Amino acid sequence: MAQKLWEKSVQVNKEIERFTVGRDRELDLYLAKYDVLGSMAHITMLESIGLLTKDELQVLLAALKEIYATAEAGQFIIEEGVEDVHSQVELMLTRKLGDVGKKIHSGRSRNDQVLLDLKLFTRSELKEIAEEVEHLFNTLIQQSEQYKDVLMPGYTHLQIAMPSSFGLWFGAYAESLVDDMLFLQAAFHMCNRNPLGSAAGYGSSFPLNRTMTTNLLGFEALNYNVVYAQMGRGKMERNVAFAMASIAGTISKLAFDACMFSSQNFGFVKLPDDCTTGSSIMPHKKNPDVFELTRAKCNKLQALPQQIMMIANNLPSGYFRDLQIIKEVFLPAFQELKDCLRMTSYIIGAIEVNKHILEDDKYLYIFSVEEVNRLAREGMPFRDAYKKVGLDIEAGHFTHNKQVHHTHEGSIGNLCNDAITAQMQHVISGFNFDTMQQAEDALLGR
């Protein structure tokens, strides 16, 4: 059985070990390839300050690249009795290379190792989420343009209110994603700072070159203060979770709309047949299960920041084992959000729109404001026009040609989708994912 990195002469009680390790071995599989990347940068820096020879560096880098390939292929395992991913990587190196494998930990702690792993993992996941958000955004803009002339009722208080359009409906969610992406970009920049070299939160007496590892890993900057680097654990996850929750909030609302609008009582849209499920008793049913599950998953994601806060709340500076539990709710959340984004993009892209909704006279009164405004344009005081139309409705005399003439920015006749798209492109360009990707590829010799 492998010895713990910290274990000396006394072995820990097995039940205590089971409780303290918890799900760490399972969850650390998310971090395996990032732990290897961090070690590659760290030992490259150690060689530059004389703590490794060039020959030692080369054999270590070659072995780490092999481990990275194993992790990338999904074949990396943490053996029974090995506490975490850091221990497993060091054990694999020591088995292969002997004592030189034991040198990779010089100048760092498992504390700054896991901080680094979490940041490398998170920024990679944020890149994938940003790509999925962009894809959904483009789908929404495309649908907004395709159906910009198809009117539908707008609602307030779930009462029919004023004319809307599918151009407005699709486009509204697209613009919402712009704000969500801005939030995501801020979280990415806070994540994309290097904590390596902060050790247990108080630095090291080795002459570490932290700027070098920052450049090797493609970080934008350092977490300079070593105490703050450790204080950032939990805070980084919380900030990222808030950004993810913002996206999830947009998708959840869209999913609710789609479920409601696809019901027979509305009949505004038809979901693709391959995205609906049947009933075990009612042969006519086509249930919007995908959007119902999306709504539930996104609502769960909106609780993620609170979960993280409740775990990390009121901890003083320094490391505490409480922070380990954050991984249980944080690491799996990215895949859940990506799944929701992909499902939503697919269904929105294949949704069928009812182009004849307003032919039903039950929607006639949504044109009341159009009539009030017409009378006001012709010179009648607005309040008098309002009263006249209201009385006509009460008397059953109201009629309208069911056409609208909106021209101002962001209205039915002037969606401003080009401007919204330009905003999104500006936000996307601000991530600067290329630097991170190029640095990782250079480390791996790709």
152-164 pLDDT tens trace: 999 999 999 999 9
The pTM for the full model equals 0.91
Residue 4 lies in a domain: no
Phi-psi region of 302 (alpha: psi -120 to 50; beta: other; left: phi over 0): alpha
Residue 215 lies in a domain: no
Could you tell me if 190 and 294 lie in one domain? yes
* pLDDT of amino acid 26: 80
Residue 393 lies in a domain: yes
Could you tell me if 245 and 331 lie in one domain? yes
Residue 391 lies in a domain: yes
Could you tell me if 428 and 331 lie in one domain? yes
Residue 211 lies in a domain: no
Query: pLDDT tens-digit profile of 164-217?
Result: 999 999 999 999 999 999 999 999 999 999 999 999 999 999 999 999 999 999
For the segment 380-387, the average pLDDT, to the nearest whole number, is 95
For the segment 375-389, the average pLDDT, to the nearest whole number, is 95
Could you tell me if 301 and 422 lie in one domain? yes
Q: Does position 415 have pLDDT exceeding 70, yes or no? A: yes
Query: pLDDT tens-digit profile of 66-88?
Result: 999 999 999 999 998 888 899 99
Q: Does position 235 have pLDDT exceeding 90, yes or no? A: yes
Among 83, 106, 129, which residue terminates a domain?
A: 106
Could you tell me if 180 and 323 lie in one domain? yes
Residue 214 lies in a domain: no
Instruction: Identify whether 157 is a catalytic site residue.
Output: yes
Q: State the pLDDT confidence band at 18, using cuts at 50, 70 and 90.
A: low
Residue 208 lies in a domain: no
Q: Which residue has the higher pLDDT, 346 or 318?
A: 346
The count of structural domains within the chain is 3
Among 62, 77, 106, which residue terminates a domain?
A: 106
* pLDDT of amino acid 83: 83
* pLDDT of amino acid 17: 67
Q: Does position 282 have pLDDT exceeding 80, yes or no? A: no
Q: State the pLDDT confidence band at 1, using cuts at 50, 70 and 90.
A: very low
Q: Please state the three-class secondary structure of the chain as a single string.
A: CCCCCCCCCCCCCHHHHHHHHCCHHHHHHHHHHHHHHHHHHHHHHHHHCCCCCHHHHHHHHHHHHHHHHHHHCCCCCCCCCCCCHHHHHHHHHHHHHHHHHHHHHCCCCHHHHHHHHHHHHHHHHHHHHHHHHHHHHHHHHHHHHHCCCCEEEEEECCEEEEEEEHHHHHHHHHHHHHHHHHHHHHHHHHHCEECCCCCCCCCCCCCCCHHHHHHHCCCCEECCCHHHHHHCCCHHHHHHHHHHHHHHHHHHHHHHHHHHHCCCCCCCEECCHHHCECCCCCCCCCECHHHHHHHHHHHHHCCHHHHHHHHHCCCCCCCCHHHHHHHHHHCCHHHHHHHHHHHHHHHHHHCEECCCHHHCHHHHHHHHHHHHHHHHHCCCCHHHHHHHHHHHHHHCCCCCCCCCCCCCCCECCECCHHHHHHHHHHHHHCCCHHHHHHHHHHHHCC
Could you tell me if 270 and 375 lie in one domain? no
CATH of the domain at 115: 1.20.200.10
Could you tell me if 224 and 81 lie in one domain? no
Residue 348 lies in a domain: yes
Could you tell me if 88 and 126 lie in one domain? no
Q: What is the largest CA-CA distance in the chain?
A: 94
CATH of the domain at 42: 1.10.275.10
For the segment 307-333, the average pLDDT, to the nearest whole number, is 91
Among 106, 125, 141, which residue terminates a domain?
A: 106
* pLDDT of amino acid 6: 43
Instruction: Identify whether 400 is a catalytic site residue.
Output: no
Could you tell me if 225 and 266 lie in one domain? yes
* pLDDT of amino acid 388: 95
Q: What is the mean pLDDT of the chain?
A: 92
Could you tell me if 134 and 235 lie in one domain? yes
Could you tell me if 93 and 119 lie in one domain? no
Could you tell me if 242 and 387 lie in one domain? no
The catalytic position among 39, 48, 279, 284 is 279
For the segment 296-300, the average pLDDT, to the nearest whole number, is 96
Q: State the pLDDT confidence band at 322, using cuts at 50, 70 and 90.
A: confident
The catalytic position among 9, 39, 157, 397 is 157
Domain extent for 31:
14-106
